[in-house]
Amino acid sequence: MIILKDLAQQALQDKYCLKNHKQFETIGFDPEELIQLKEMDHRELTGLMIYCGIHVYNGVPLLVLKDDEMRMAYLVWRASCIDVKKIEVTKKWGRGMKWFSYLRIAMELLEEQ
């Protein structure tokens, strides 16, 4: 489970790095994230936006965004991270099925001999 408040604090205190985003692609969406997101105040939400690299949402800069808009921006960003991983897994699954069909054909040829 991802603790969003810790990530927001990390972004506000330390230098932030794009390598940290990989964890969002590998972890599925947890409904607990919605509860954590609802409990965050404006400062924490701003830190979370900085951590995630969200600087603009619907053409509106981060400094002008309201709390609910920041929450929605995070959810949209999170959904896009999950889609990236889903596309990657789907490509690998298709390739695996292709090799499985080749193996099945080879087995059929061996059985005929």
User: Tens place of pLDDT for every residue, the chain, 113 residues?
Assistant: 788 888 888 877 776 555 666 677 667 778 898 999 999 999 999 998 988 888 899 889 988 999 999 999 999 998 888 777 777 777 777 778 888 888 888 888 888 87
Is residue 55 within 8 A of residue 49, CB to CB? The reply is yes
pTM of the model: 0.69
Q: Where are the alpha helices (DSSP H) in the chain?
A: 4-13, 22-26, 32-39, 42-52, 67-112
